């Protein structure tokens, strides 16, 4: 998550540049990247020669499709072409939901995998456990824009001290409560789910 506000075009340009740096080193990546050693049955892609166009396979977010988000798709593809003229992106716009995309990736990984994939935070551990993705630490630390990320957004993507994904957004959730109601029943604001359930029970029973 960037600490400064970026418009969509700036974000897409940053994303494209990041994807390019991952693609040009030619080890398969996710959003979240791939291990240097390809899974059994997969083919190693040759590195593109200078001046040639490299192809990056990208599994995009499941809820983005040509039909649902044509403006987003068009802007993304045009930004990649403009910012990275020597990189062709082979886009796949997901099966419609995150779980089917994860399952499809796990199945597909038996023979081949995309270079970059977008998915849910909780799927990263599954990919790491199956040795489908590789750490990003070296590339992230060499990235000039790394200081824009809030540390708290990187921590959930860090497993065993290694960074396996790059967040592009986040959200903060909170709970609103009636202080007057808690004061009326002599209760304190709950700080855990267990306390919340108990507080609700006490108010309901009283």
Is residue 113 situated within a structural domain? yes
If asked whether residues 138 and 191 sit together in one domain, one would say no
Q: Name the pTM for this structure.
A: 0.58
* Domain range for 37: 8-163
Spatial neighbors of 189 by CB under 8 A, at least 6 apart, are 177, 179, 182
User: What is the domain-level CATH number for residue 130?
Assistant: 3.40.190.10
Is residue 169 situated within a structural domain? no
If asked whether residues 178 and 146 sit together in one domain, one would say no
Of 169, 171, 167, 198, which Cα lies nearest the Cα of 182? 198
User: What one-character-per-residue DSSP string does 134-195 give?
Assistant: ---HHHHHT-TTGGGB-HHHHGGGEETTEE----S----------HHHHHHTT-PPP-SHHH
pLDDT in tens, 50-66: 567 788 888 776 665 55
pLDDT given at position 96: 65
Please give the chain's pLDDT, 206 residues, in tens: 333 343 444 444 444 434 433 333 333 333 433 333 344 334 444 455 556 778 888 877 666 555 666 777 778 788 888 888 888 888 777 666 777 777 877 887 777 778 887 778 888 898 899 888 889 999 999 999 999 999 989 998 999 999 999 988 887 778 889 999 999 999 999 999 899 999 999 999 87
């Amino acid at each position: 998550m960037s600490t400064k506000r970026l418009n969509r075009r700036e974000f897409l340009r940053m994303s494209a540049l990041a994807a390019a740096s991952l693609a040009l080193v030619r080890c398969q990546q996710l959003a979240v990247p791939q291990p240097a050693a390809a899974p059994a049955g997969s083919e190693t892609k040759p590195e593109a020669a200078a001046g040639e166009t490299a192809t990056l396979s990208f599994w995009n977010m499941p809820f983005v499709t040509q039909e649902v988000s044509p403006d987003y798709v068009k802007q993304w593809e045009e930004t990649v072409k403009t910012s990275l003229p020597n990189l062709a992106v082979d886009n796949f716009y997901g099966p419609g939901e995150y779980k089917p995309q994860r399952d499809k990736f796990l199945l597909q990984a038996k023979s081949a995998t995309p270079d970059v994939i977008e998915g849910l935070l909780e799927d990263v551990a599954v990919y790491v456990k199956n040795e489908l993705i590789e750490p990003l630490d070296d590339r992230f630390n060499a990235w000039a824009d790394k200081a824009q990320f809030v540390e708290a957004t990187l921590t959930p993507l860090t497993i065993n001290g290694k960074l396996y994904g790059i967040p592009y957004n986040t959200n903060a959730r909170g709970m609103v409560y009636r202080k007057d109601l808690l004061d009326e029943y002599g209760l304190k604001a709950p700080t855990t789910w267990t306390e919340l359930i108990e507080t609700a029970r006490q108010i309901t029973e009283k």
